[in-house]
Amino acid sequence: MSHQPTLLFVILGATLVLFAWGRVRYDVVAVLALLAAVAVGVVPAESAFSGFGHPAVITVAAVLVLSGAVRDSGLVEPAGRYLRPLVAHPHLHVFAITGLAAVCSAFMNNVGALAIILPIALQSADIAKRPPSQLLMPLSFGTLLGGLTTLIGTPPNIIIASARMAETGQAFAMFDFAPVGIVVAGAGVVFVSLIGWRLLPTRDAGGKAVDDARDLFHIEDYITEVRLQEASPYVGRRLIDLEALGEGDAAVVALIRRKDRMLAPSGYLRLQASDILILEADAAALQKVVDEGKLDSLGAANVQVESLRSERVMLTEAVIAPGSRLEGRTAQSMRLHARYGLNLLGLARQGAPITERLGRVRLSGGDVLLLQGEREPMPDALSALGCLPLAGRDIALGRREIQWAAPLIFAIAMVLVVGGFLAPQIAFTAAAAGLVLTRTISPRDLYDSIEWPVIVLLGALIPVGGALETTGATQVIAAPILAMQDSVPVWAMLALLMVVTMLLSDIMNNAATAVIMAPLGIGIAKGLGVAVDPFLMAVAVGASSTFLTPIGHQSNLLVMGPGGYRFGDYWRMGLPLDILIVAVAVPMILLVWPL
């Protein structure tokens, strides 16, 4: 049996490498780790999938449904109106955005909070003539800081509460995280507002309003007028048939037929001889469409970005969210125009436009797309694709009028949990069911609001995390740390555990970090003969402190493109913030949760 810890360490080491590599989705990596653990006998086959029924997994899924419903209720959006007087003062501007994000993320999913505030932040940056790079990373960090304050603020807290339940028979309650979390979050928000934003690069990149899209995408350089000849084989055929010649690299942004000018024409419109098409395409795709479609080239079109939209048709910039159905796909394979009525006019990655053929670029989370389409169905199309709009209040994520049913049901569930009447997994699942029964959301919305990759990751890794305890691996790791107890104070061990957890969460999913590090924290506490609570709190704080890289958390990745950030920009503000968090959190943990 002594070889089991070694086998588990090999599996966890390979898992960590795959997480850091980033080429394989984290949920797939988690499943591979589980299968490997079962194959070598570290996890019994009969309990391989027990993690999917774990209370933490059920709670996370239910909270994602509830936070999505609260996000769409329009409850938070009015706050954007009150930011206008603050935008003239940089410190107050950053404080308002970061603080609002922290408050929202205390009661909803981090990405959900970011999705609500992102358009508000970009509009306020445009009003203040301030680079989005000064606001978007503070926004992302604010959502992470706010998650520290409540049980439901972030999945790691739910996992830590479940670990305490398994160890002591009693889980952390809804606001047990608040005494430490509020102080840490408050210190973090103040630091970001006064000092942190000054450490960021000043870049004017992808977060600009659509009016300024040409500054990033330069789409006028790729717009050409062509006329359909009478001899063309495409006379009488559908528009999408002609576009298909460009293999995803050509889009008809307008069609002129006699005196009628149609923007973003339907792909199923039948072409007629002498139709003039305004094509957005690179040279290679344009030549192929012209030659094979028998079109007359009329030269570069004298078209400005503003003329590509109307009361019916709009342009919008949108960022691809992690887990989007666009990830790893190409525009050609997605057939955006035929399926969703959207024309892809531009693509930017990390604040720089992609100049290669758009239809063949494999899309990634954080990419910024410039899309043209009909105004009314645009929000539904973006939602179906898993994209967040960056600008334009006419496609705001929430409704214009506040819908109170979702916040009320969520509040009732929280009261039942705080009062000890129901366990979190029961109360929040019942609340999600209540949303469906009251027709606040549809069953389809319920399933769509759950981040299934996160659920799969948790369900797969929970048995692997449990194996750390059952195989004795935690004792193997804890032994050299415990050997230092005569020369190193306990607070230093607590700080060391927090720092290691922070570093892991910067290269792997924070929920996965909590699953792996919670057993280690418990093992160290038991070895020292002290309470487990301080060490579990240290893991909770460390797992949510993903400030050094864009890959540690979805929020960081989502602002990378709109903010024009590079990979190395995150540590500029993230490293001093991590140091501050350790300095504030360790004494607060020892004060609130004594050894």
Predicted confidence at residue 483, as pLDDT, reads: 85
Predicted confidence at residue 578, as pLDDT, reads: 97
Tracing tokens 């002591």 back to the chain, one arrives at 168
pLDDT 10s digits, 61-114 = 999 999 889 888 888 777 767 777 888 899 999 999 999 999 999 998 888 889
pLDDT 10s digits, 23-58 = 788 899 999 999 999 999 999 999 999 999 999 999
pLDDT band at 428 (very low <50, low <70, confident <90, very high): very high
User: If you average pLDDT over residues 525-553, what whole number do you get?
Assistant: 93
Predicted confidence at residue 574, as pLDDT, reads: 96
Average pLDDT, the chain: 87
Residues 404, 409, 413, 418: is their CA dihedral positive or negative?
positive
pLDDT band at 403 (very low <50, low <70, confident <90, very high): confident
pLDDT band at 8 (very low <50, low <70, confident <90, very high): very high
Residue 1 has pLDDT above 50, yes or no: no
Residue 477 has pLDDT above 60, yes or no: yes
pLDDT band at 218 (very low <50, low <70, confident <90, very high): low
Q: Which has more confidence, 12 or 212?
A: 12
Residue 409: what are its φ and ψ, rounded to 5°?
-65, -40
Predicted confidence at residue 399, as pLDDT, reads: 42
Query: Nearest 5°: CA angle at 74, between 71 and 79?
Result: 100
**Helix, strand, coil percentages in the chain from 3-state DSSP, rounded to 5:** 60, 10, 30
Alpha helix ranges (H) inside 341-423: 378-385, 405-418
User: If you average pLDDT over residues 367-378, what whole number do you get?
Assistant: 89
Write down the CATH superfamily of domain 315-395.
Answer: Regulator of K+ conductance, C-terminal domain (3.30.70.1450)
Distance CA 193, CA 336 (A): 40
Residue 109: what are its φ and ψ, rounded to 5°?
-55, 140
In eight-state DSSP terms, residue 532 is: S
User: If you average pLDDT over residues 144-152, what whole number do you get?
Assistant: 95
Partners of residue 316 on adjacent β-strands: 371
Distance CA 328, CA 326 (A): 6
Pair 180, 566: CB distance under 8 Å = no
Distance CA 278, CA 253 (A): 6
Partners of residue 257 on adjacent β-strands: 260
Predicted confidence at residue 21, as pLDDT, reads: 82
Predicted confidence at residue 394, as pLDDT, reads: 40
pLDDT 10s digits, 478-521 = 888 888 887 889 999 999 999 999 999 998 889 999 999 999 99
Distance CA 144, CA 513 (A): 15
Predicted confidence at residue 213, as pLDDT, reads: 42
Pair 298, 225: CB distance under 8 Å = yes
The DSSP secondary structure of 93-112, one letter per residue, reads HHHHHHHHHHHHHTTS-HHH
Pair 242, 252: CB distance under 8 Å = yes
Distance CA 373, CA 263 (A): 8
Count of residues in the chain? 595
Q: What is the pTM of this model?
A: 0.84
Predicted confidence at residue 221, as pLDDT, reads: 65
Query: Nearest 5°: CA angle at 381, between 454 and 281?
Result: 110
Number of helices (H), then strands (E), in the chain: 24, 10
Alpha helix ranges (H) inside 326-390: 331-334, 336-340, 378-385
Residue 450 has pLDDT above 70, yes or no: yes
Q: What SS3 class is residue 173?
A: coil
Predicted confidence at residue 366, as pLDDT, reads: 86
pLDDT 10s digits, 271-310 = 999 999 988 887 788 888 988 888 988 777 666 666 777 8
The domain ranges of the chain are 58-205+404-448, 315-395
Residue 205 has pLDDT above 60, yes or no: no
Pair 193, 94: CB distance under 8 Å = yes
Distance CA 41, CA 296 (A): 68
Query: How many percent of the chain have pLDDT more than 90?
Result: 48
Residue 548 has pLDDT above 80, yes or no: yes
Q: Which has more confidence, 394 or 3?
A: 3
Q: What SS3 class is residue 501?
A: helix
Pairing mode, if any, of strands 313-320 and 295-300? unpaired
pLDDT band at 547 (very low <50, low <70, confident <90, very high): very high
Partners of residue 63 on adjacent β-strands: none
Q: What SS3 class is residue 35?
A: helix
Burial class (CB in 10 A: 0-12, 13-18, 19+), 78: exposed
